[in-house]
Amino acid sequence: MVFKTRRIAPRRAVDVMPDSKKVVVVDATDLCLPFIDELGVTGVSIAVFSPTGGQSTICSSDAVAARIDELQFDLGEGPQWATLKTGTPTLVPDVCTGTHDRWPIFAASIGALDVGALFAFPLLMGAVTIGTVGLYRRTAGALSPQHMEIAVTLASALSDVAVSHAIAGADDEGALESAMTPAMRREVHQATGMILVQLDTTATIAYSRLQAYAFANGRTVQDVARDVVSRQLSFRFLPK
Residue 18 lies in domain:
12-171
User: Which CATH number characterizes residue 192's domain?
Assistant: 1.10.10
Do residues 93 and 149 both lie within one domain?
yes
Do residues 110 and 225 both lie within one domain?
no
34/55: higher pLDDT: 34
Spell out the residues 6+ positions from residue 102 whose beta carbon is closer than 8 angstroms to its own: 2, 77, 82
Determine, yes or no, domain membership for 37. yes
Q: What spatial distance separates the first Cα and last Cα of the chain, rounded to whole Å?
A: 37
Do residues 229 and 167 both lie within one domain?
no
Do residues 93 and 199 both lie within one domain?
no
Determine, yes or no, domain membership for 95. yes
Whole-angstrom distance, CA of residue 130 vs CA of residue 84: 8
Last residue of a domain, one of 171, 199, 228: 171
Do residues 36 and 139 both lie within one domain?
yes
3-41 per-position pLDDT tens digit: 554 444 444 444 444 444 433 444 667 889 999 999 999
31 contacts 46 by C-beta, under 8 angstroms:
yes
**What CA–CA distances, in Å, run from 176 to 48, 56, 82, 172, 182?**
18, 13, 29, 9, 8
Average pLDDT over residues 76-80: 93
Do residues 113 and 17 both lie within one domain?
yes
Question: Beta strands of 13-101 (E only): which ranges?
Answer: 43-49, 55-60, 90-92
Concatenating the DSSP letter of every residue in 1-16 gives --EE--------HHHH
Do residues 69 and 131 both lie within one domain?
yes
DSSP 204: H
Determine, yes or no, domain membership for 129. yes
Do residues 52 and 137 both lie within one domain?
yes
Residue 193 has a pLDDT of 84
Residue 40 has a pLDDT of 92
Determine, yes or no, domain membership for 50. yes
Do residues 229 and 120 both lie within one domain?
no
Residue 219 has a pLDDT of 86
Q: How many domains does the chain have?
A: 2
Do residues 23 and 137 both lie within one domain?
yes
* Residue 53 predicted with pLDDT over 80: no
184-230 per-position pLDDT tens digit: 566 777 888 888 889 998 877 888 888 889 888 888 888 888 899 88
Determine, yes or no, domain membership for 224. yes
Determine, yes or no, domain membership for 177. no
Do residues 97 and 206 both lie within one domain?
no
Determine, yes or no, domain membership for 4. no
Determine, yes or no, domain membership for 30. yes
